[in-house]
Structure 1
Amino acid sequence: MSHSGVGRAGPGRGFTSAPRAASATFSQELIDRILGDTDKDTLKSCALVARSFRTTSQKLIFSDLTILPPGCDSIPALQRLANLLSASPHLALHVRTLRLVQPSFYAPCVWMQSDILPVILPLFTHLASLRISIYNWDFFHSDCEQAIHTLITQSQLSSIELEEARFQTNVKLLAFLQCYPASLQFASLRHVYTHRSNLNDAFIEFDPLHLTSLHIDSHASAPYHWAMRAVDPKHLRDLQTDAQKSTLKFVQRLLDGAVHVETYHISLRDSFFNRQTTNLRSMPSLRTFELSVELEWAEIHKAQGRYNPLNDVTRTLTTAPQTVEHLILNLQIRHSDDWGRFLDYPLRDHPLEGLGERRPALRDVVVRIVLRHEPPALQQGIQYLKQLFHRLENRGMLTAVIIHPAAGQ
């Protein structure tokens, strides 16, 4: 009987089967964790490696999408995105954060005039966060603007940020804010303005919003007008506002109702032209209090020291409840020459001297000096702050920082 040359290995046999190549397998959870720490360029390659890599890589690549970043402001770039989402519509479902950006600050973007955007936006049905940085809304094609309104109205967004925005009228801005969904938890309006400030014709109804966090930094009164009518301050836990002549009464109305706010950041602007200050006595839950003020000594000198912003800081602090545990002071020096004048301010007459004794609940104080120009001696400022708050320094409660934005510090 003849035998073939291949058979099973066994006792007494003169040959054995070839060993199988060893293969390593990893759990999908481990693969996902590794991909989660990978940059987007590498993720694009990973998406082509294996099926177990593809879905997670695509989710991470498209989780945060920008239309259109600087250098990509072109119809072909937008069209390529439209083509990709048309061929693979499931990719749009991965987008959680969407950013609409006007790369050129003053010039109109080509995509703002295109009919492609209204086709793309309805695909993003799983959005959680929307950030819009559009300087001039008058450049928008009407269909584009309406598509943004529809996207917001029909979404379940939890966060909307609107920044560097210019609207022709208050009615136009308020019509945009009217779209905010009931699901919203965080709303931010930074540097939002209107060309016309008259609110007499802005009778727009708003659905109530139960925000937990609200940031408003605007010279215009329309954002505060919206907040008064749409936002229930009793639900807020985090609040940030400015305080200036045109908005002070609106800010105070917010503060009076913000009884559960735990973190509050206020920016004092042109306050030395206004003898009124904000009152924080209706905020018994306040734990972290941050104040930002710009020091321009030419204005202080003009007012003969009567409206020194540091005095305004002190008056505002006086109204804060004794529950404050963490205090942050941001002092911005506008001109390089003002640095020396700041350091010459007599310590014994300084309005912030003795802060620790007046607030026994304080756990820590952070003082940040923000300088736009390189001063001759940064460490001199650190030492000045330590002397000013020497009791806090001795108790290990003070952190003094010099920040020079141009140097990236």
Structure 2
Amino acid sequence: MAHHTLSGACRTTCPQELIDLILGKTDSADKQTLKSCALVARSFRPTSQKLIFSDLTILPSGCDNIPALQRLADVLSASPHLAQHVRTLHLVQPGLYESCEWMKSGILPTILSVFTNLESLNIRIYNWDDLPSHCEQAIYALITRSSLSSIELKEARLQTNATLLSLLRCLPASLESASFLNVFAGYRGDPNSASAEFHQLRLASLHLNSTSPTLFHWAIRAVDPKCLRHLHTMVEENTITVIQQLLDVAVYVETYHLSFWSIFSHPENPNLEKMQGLRTLEISVSLDWEEIEEVGGQGRHNPLNDAMRTLDTASHNIEHLIFNLKIWNPDDLSYFMESVSHLEEDRPALRDVVVRIISGYDDYSALQRGIRYLETVFYRLHERGMLTAIAVRQPRG
């Protein structure tokens, strides 16, 4: 009797397109699951590896510094194609006062040089001036990548404006989005240096949450205002004049997020009248009653009054209005809300208003009272179903 094996006949092959589709539904941040998928079968490996390396952090919190960096270098050396998958790269210093020996290593420039397809670069390095020259040059080389479309620089402390300007000169013309968050540059050197030359950037999105006037001078000179659609700035006494210059040319901006410094006390407020393309306006205010009360006799203003005066200058074409009210105890909202009891009635385009209480307060009933109070203050909008009043937990860290 002849014996036939059925194993080959019964074995079915799943189309690679279907495997890729299934793996593509996996969160790229779930590295452990993707690593397991890579071991399932040879057909799973390429897509799993692509997702694993698409978003890379050097180095994640808890890694053992130089040995971890060396392991990454060994992996990329053994499999050079993996570096081509890296689209988003995070360079993170573990803490303001924590040692970061791996950034001083000669291994780092070698690793950074192989990411030739990089699209998004996020840098969180506090002590920028302490970087060894070889590391700094390697980071600058990353910033100049023509494939780069997005960059975020966060928590950087630079000793001089010249250092910041040298970094800004490296930004490539390919950029579409740029964020500078809590960036500080020392006041030595001219923040508006005539000798500085920059690429003309056609940014669609610009986030300047910084007290450094240098960044705003750069934005005015280097960013094409006709391309800008999304803008976020934090206004403070030493930046309001240059911010106003930026707002005056940002006529095509559709979404603007304005954050007020908690004790903003400038006699003038940002004026939005030239931003005729504006459709969504978001205003963030820190309401610190004790802080404002303490300096009240010195002519400082309630920051919410500043925000409302700015709103009065905005185009009547605004469709969406968002208030973020950062406060400790929501019961204290009553100290501040008199100025918003009557929004202008001549805003026919207005579709909705969102008011967020941003607080770390643990008393749930106080948060609910805050929401009820906001609904009373904005009662006309509430009656028309245009108001959303919510409480959200204050972000940590």
For Structure 1 versus Structure 2, the TM-score category normalised by the shorter chain is over 0.9
The one-letter amino acid of 1:371's match is S
RMSD, aligned CA: 2.1
Larger Rg: 1
Report if aligned partners of 1:102, 1:109 keep a CA contact under 8 Å in 2.
yes
Report if aligned partners of 2:177, 2:205 keep a CA contact under 8 Å in 1.
yes
Instruction: Name structure 1 gaps, 5 residues minimum.
Output: 7-15
Q: Which residue of 2 aligns with 1:398?
A: 387
Q: Which residue of 2 aligns with 1:196?
A: 187
Report if aligned partners of 1:106, 1:136 keep a CA contact under 8 Å in 2.
no
Q: Which residue of 1 aligns with 2:326?
A: 332
Q: Which residue of 2 aligns with 1:11?
A: none
Asked if residue 314 in structure 1 is aligned to residue 308 in structure 2, the reply is yes
Task: Quote how far apart the aligned CAs of 1:37 are.
Answer: 2.6
Q: Which residue of 2 aligns with 1:371?
A: 359
Task: Quote how far apart the aligned CAs of 1:299 are.
Answer: 3.8
Aligned counterpart for 1:84 among listed residues 75, 78, 96? 75
> Partners in 2 of 1:314 and 1:385 — Cα distance?
15
> Partners in 1 of 2:252 and 2:64 — Cα distance?
44
> Partners in 1 of 2:64 and 2:156 — Cα distance?
18
Aligned counterpart for 2:370 among listed residues 366, 371, 381? 381
Task: Quote how far apart the aligned CAs of 1:310 are.
Answer: 1.6
The one-letter amino acid of 2:161's match is N
Task: Quote how far apart the aligned CAs of 1:100 are.
Answer: 0.1
> Partners in 2 of 1:201 and 1:390 — Cα distance?
47
> Partners in 1 of 2:218 and 2:375 — Cα distance?
42
Distance 1:61 1:324, change over 3 A: same
| Structure 1 range deviating more: 320-329 or 355-364 | 355-364
The one-letter amino acid of 1:402's match is A
> Partners in 2 of 1:35 and 1:200 — Cα distance?
49
The one-letter amino acid of 1:178's match is R
Q: Which residue of 1 aligns with 2:296?
A: 303
The one-letter amino acid of 2:320's match is H
Asked if residue 43 in structure 1 is aligned to residue 34 in structure 2, the reply is yes
> Partners in 2 of 1:217 and 1:141 — Cα distance?
27
C-alpha distance after superposition, 1:359-382 (max 9, x if no partner): 221101000111133346211101
Q: Which residue of 2 aligns with 1:227?
A: 219
Q: How does 1:8-407 map to 2 (within 5 A)?
A: 19=6, 21-38=9-26, 39-199=30-190, 202=193, 203-270=195-262, 272-301=264-293, 302-303=295-296, 307-333=301-327, 335-336=328-329, 339-344=330-335, 350-355=338-343, 357-375=345-363, 377-405=366-394
> Partners in 1 of 2:133 and 2:56 — Cα distance?
23
Report if aligned partners of 2:209, 2:233 keep a CA contact under 8 Å in 1.
yes
Task: Quote how far apart the aligned CAs of 1:356 are.
Answer: 5.9
Report if aligned partners of 1:311, 1:351 keep a CA contact under 8 Å in 2.
yes
Task: Quote how far apart the aligned CAs of 1:56 are.
Answer: 0.4
The list of structure 1 runs, each at least 4 consecutive aligned residues, that deviate by more than 6 angstroms after superposition, is: none
Report if aligned partners of 1:70, 1:103 keep a CA contact under 8 Å in 2.
yes
> Partners in 2 of 1:373 and 1:17 — Cα distance?
73
SS in structure 1 of the partner of residue 281 of structure 2? strand
| Structure 1 range deviating more: 179-188 or 204-213 | 204-213
| Structure 1 range deviating more: 301-310 or 113-122 | 301-310
> Partners in 2 of 1:34 and 1:201 — Cα distance?
52
The percentage of counterpart residues that share the same residue type is 56
C-alpha distance after superposition, 1:352-401 (max 9, x if no partner): 11226242211010001111333462111010000001111111111111
TM-score w.r.t. structure 1 length? Answer: 0.90
> Partners in 1 of 2:240 and 2:43 — Cα distance?
56
Task: Quote how far apart the aligned CAs of 1:197 are.
Answer: 4.8
Task: Quote how far apart the aligned CAs of 1:106 are.
Answer: 2.0
C-alpha distance after superposition, 1:297-316 (max 9, x if no partner): 23433325871112111110
Q: Which residue of 2 aligns with 1:13?
A: none
SS in structure 1 of the partner of residue 355 of structure 2? strand
SS in structure 2 of the partner of residue 276 of structure 1? coil
Report if aligned partners of 1:243, 1:271 keep a CA contact under 8 Å in 2.
no
Distance 1:226 1:271, change over 3 A: same
Q: Which residue of 2 aligns with 1:9?
A: none
